[in-house]
């Protein structure tokens, strides 16, 4: 994993996190609701957005944002009428949502963590005969790696799709008047200023999902009876099993990332064009 994905310490993960697989994603705070199971008790005081912003702005982005604050937006001419542009944006966002909600599967259609693969990886780790925590942790990372990679790829894909919609709407919004053009300019500058660290935070969150998977796998292995004639991997990967739960959690996080990005674009459209995308 490259250095960008290691930005800052990972949050503390508590083992065996049980949350309903059907837990809905909050439209107001999608990423917060998708990662609620990974956090400890609620903080005593909710942080204001102005406190969080400096943590998301990198140095180069800060310079770009400062420049945008000091300069007037360049007059723009829209290539498409507003109604046509909005209809196109809605179609493309609907396609992006379909992709976000598509189950995370390997190209073959098989599960990322099938029972036979779990058995094979755990056997190399000496399970169930030996139950060394370090070996179990290494096995967990090996098992989760394809799911982590696919989750990050899917998040990147849907974010790119939403970003393309946002860039296409930029000239349309800017052409409607000076106030809208100013809001579009500031939104674009803020997005550019925060994209690098937002990427890193999303990567950290997916890494935290992997930490939670490792904690659950360790707990499940340690709880196996002695002697253990067979590892109950079918129960782990079946409906209600902890492996299936973690796959569903990754899928939910992809949807949350999409909802978060779409909400930002919708907010800009509502405050400039007085229209809604969702």
- Give 177-232 pLDDT, tens digit per residue: 999 999 999 999 888 888 888 899 899 999 999 999 999 999 999 999 988 889 99
Q: Which two tokens stand for residue 180?
A: 């809208």
31 band by pLDDT with thresholds 50, 70 and 90: confident
Positive or negative, the Cα torsion across 240, 108, 202, 66? Answer: negative
| Residues 129-162 pLDDT 10s | 989 999 999 999 999 999 999 999 999 999 999 9
Residue 123, CB-side half-sphere exposure with 13 Å CA sphere: 10
CA 98 to chain centroid: 16
| Residue 176 to residue 191: CA distance in whole angstroms | 21
> Which stretches of 143-231 are assigned E, i.e. beta strand?
none
Residue 39, CB-side half-sphere exposure with 13 Å CA sphere: 10
The predicted pLDDT at position 105 comes to 76
Identify the burial level of 175 via C-beta atoms within 10 angstroms of its C-beta, where 0-12 means exposed, 13-18 middle and 19 or more buried.
middle
The predicted pLDDT at position 110 comes to 59
pLDDT at 14 exceeding the cut of 50: no
Q: For residues 7-31, give the mean pLDDT.
A: 47
A 10 A CB-CB count for 46 gives: 7
Percentage of the chain exceeding pLDDT 90: 58
Of residues 3 and 35, more confidence is placed in 35
A 10 A CB-CB count for 183 gives: 17
Q: For residues 247-263, give the mean pLDDT.
A: 95
| Residue 255 to residue 155: CA distance in whole angstroms | 8
Per-chain mean pLDDT for the chain: 83
Which residues, other chains included, contact 70 with Cβ-Cβ below 8 Å and sequence gap of 6+?
A: none
DSSP secondary structure code for residue 129 in this structure:
T
The predicted pLDDT at position 106 comes to 61
A 10 A CB-CB count for 204 gives: 16
| Residue 68 to residue 187: CA distance in whole angstroms | 10
Q: For residues 61-77, give the mean pLDDT.
A: 76
């Amino acid at each position: 994993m490259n250095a960008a994905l290691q930005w800052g310490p990972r949050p503390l993960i508590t083992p065996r996190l049980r949350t309903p697989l059907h837990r809905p994603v909050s439209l107001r705070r999608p990423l917060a609701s998708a990662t609620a199971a990974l956090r400890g008790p609620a903080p005593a005081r909710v942080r204001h957005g102005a406190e969080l912003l400096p943590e998301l702005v990198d140095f180069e982005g800060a310079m770009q944002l400062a420049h945008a604050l000091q300069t007037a937006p360049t007059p723009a001419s829209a290539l498409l009428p507003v109604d046509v542009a909005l209809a196109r944006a809605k179609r493309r966002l609907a396609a992006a949502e379909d992709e976000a909600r598509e189950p995370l599967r390997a190209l073959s259609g098989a599960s990322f963590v099938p029972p036979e693969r779990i058995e094979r990886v755990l056997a190399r780790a000496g399970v169930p005969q030996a139950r060394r925590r370090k070996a179990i942790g290494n096995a967990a990372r090996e098992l989760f790696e394809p799911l982590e990679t696919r989750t990050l790829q899917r998040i990147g894909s849907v974010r790119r799709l939403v970003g393309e919609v946002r860039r296409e709407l930029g000239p349309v919004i800017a052409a409607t008047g000076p106030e809208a053009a100013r809001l579009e300019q500031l939104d674009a500058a803020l997005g550019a200023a925060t994209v690098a660290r937002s990427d890193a935070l999303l990567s950290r969150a997916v890494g935290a999902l992997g930490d939670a998977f490792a904690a659950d796998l360790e707990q499940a292995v340690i709880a196996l009876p002695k002697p253990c004639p067979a590892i109950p991997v079918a129960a782990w990967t079946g409906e209600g099993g902890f492996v299936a739960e973690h796959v569903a959690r990754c899928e939910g996080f992809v949807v949350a990332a999409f909802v978060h990005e779409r909400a930002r674009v919708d907010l800009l459209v509502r405050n400039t064009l007085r229209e809604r995308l969702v």
